[in-house]
Amino acid sequence: MRILILGGDGYLGWPTAMNLSAAGHEVGVADNYFRRNICRETNAEPLFEAPNLHDRIKIWKKKSGHEVKSFIGDLTQWSFVEEVFKSFSPEAIIHYAEQPSAPYSMLNRRAASLTISNNLMVTANVIFATREFCPEAHIVKLGTMGEYGTPNIDIEEGWLDVEHNGRAHKFLYPRQGGSLYHTTKIMDTDLMWFYVRMWKLRVTDLMQGPVYGLETDENKGEPRLYQFFNYDEIFGTVLNRFIVQAVCGFPLTVFGKGGQTRGFLNIKDTLNCVRLSIENPADKGELRIFNQFTETFSIKELAEKVQRVGNDLNLDVEINHMENPRIEAEEHYYNPKHTGLIELGLEPNFLTDDVLAEMVETVMGFRDRIDKSRIIMNIKWF
């Protein structure tokens, strides 16, 4: 299949490009280095230096023999979108091209406004370009479990059957984001759903939980092919941060009580979920929603796991319950369904002690690159 990955330089975009090209698909990637630029601007550089997209593509070609086509430009600009869609003619589009950080979206007015304009305009352009240049193509859009928030009822897979005064109707599951970033993802879903109804697009919206992990089948043993691995307060997701903190002797930064529970997944499973969605497309006129995670943990449980595994590796890991810089429930009910991707054939890579130990050991090899001043950056929601 001809697959266009928007945001193909990112934490998920680049490993997806390698994974799908290794699976025999023809892959094109588009990116404007937005993520790299805001990392630089906020002094949130990742643990590994990533070669630019042209070099990554060359290194991957040398390792695997597979070609990936690149388009460098800004997907909020229609002229660039038009050029990419016309020349690549995708059969499937993976839309990762968004500002992905909740803390960045809460940093200041400028960051908030960039998050809104980038995320919504790219989503709108993807919709317009698909209709104009490839109306049969399948859009796979990365959403987030955070769209649902933490309601006091079970979370269904995207939709909710509501009975009211003796009548029934199916609605998008109620959403309430915990950050501006999460709120833009809710707006994306609304845009997609509107145009699925208007123009019979085919869309899969993947509600993904926080991802962890470093090595994939494609980058193993070749650090120049690693995706960005952030451990700073802006772009680092919680488990990746805890691993780096354990390695550099920084007490694990549990925000508040640590009863915040989320659905986690290994980056290898992100790749599997996206590939399964692409290879089993949604129907025309369907907005298909999957909850994309493999297991749930509270933040406190995660910290305790990292502490146990780290101490077994002779690290001296402490846990620090610090004042929560975010506005979120620190203890809550959480029971999200996640059967759709399993039914498509997903075989989860669970978070075992061995998986954790392997991550800790890999990061230990790069211990002297860790900059502890990036761990707490004092970004507050209030």
Interface with ligand USQ by CB under 6 A: which residues?
A: 100-102, 144-146, 182, 208-210, 237-238, 241, 253-255, 260, 262, 299, 326, 328
Greatest C-alpha distance within the chain: 64
The residue annotated as part of the active site, out of 69, 141, 185, 300, is: 185
Angstrom distance (rounded) from CA 49 to CA 62: 19
Residue 140 in 3-state DSSP?
strand
Judged by beta carbon, residue 106 or residue 137, the one nearer ligand USQ is 106
CA 203 to CA 135: how far, in whole Å?
A: 11
Angle at which helices 299-312 and 238-248 pack, to 10 degrees?
Answer: 30
> Dihedrals φ, ψ of 189, to 5°?
-60, -40
To ligand USQ, the closest distance from the beta carbon of 145 in angstroms equals 3
Among this protein's residues, is 144 annotated catalytic? yes
* Per annotation, catalytic residue among 11, 181, 226, 334: 181
Give 138 or 262: the residue with its C-beta nearer to ligand USQ: 262
Give the C-alpha separation, 226 to 32, whole Å: 19
**What tokens appear for 269 in the block?**
């499973």
Half-sphere exposure of 345 (CA within 13 A, CB side): 9
CB atoms under 10 Å from CB of 198, counted, come to: 11
What's the min distance (Å) between Cβ of 331 and ligand USQ?
Answer: 11
Minimum CB–partner distance for residue 228 and ligand USQ (Å): 12
Q: Hey, what's the torsion of the CAs at 233, 31, 291, 205, to 10 degrees?
A: 140
Whichever of 286 and 330 has its CB closer to ligand USQ, that residue is 330
Our CB check for ligand USQ shows the closer of 176 and 352 to be 176
- Catalytic-labelled residue, pool 144, 189, 216, 362: 144
Q: How far apart are CA 362 and CA 355, in angstroms?
A: 11
Give CA–CA dist 48/189, Å, rounded.
Answer: 33
Q: Whole-number minimum distance, CB 196 to ligand USQ, in Å? A: 21
CB of 109 to ligand USQ, least distance (A): 20
Does residue 185 carry a catalytic annotation?
Answer: yes
Structural contact between residues 36 and 79, judged by C-beta atoms closer than 8 angstroms: no
Q: How far is the CB of 11 from ligand USQ (least distance, A)?
A: 9
68 or 243: whose CB is closer to ligand USQ? 243
Q: Smaller CB distance to ligand USQ: residue 21 or 260?
A: 260
Sequence-ordered list of residues with C-beta below 8 angstroms from that of 322, at least 6 positions apart, any chain:
253, 254, 255, 256
Q: Is 104 considered catalytic here?
A: no
Question: For residues 119 and 98, what is the distance between their CA atoms, to the nearest angstrom?
Answer: 5
SS3 track for 29-46? EEECCHHHHHHHHCCCCC
Catalytic positions are 144, 181, 185
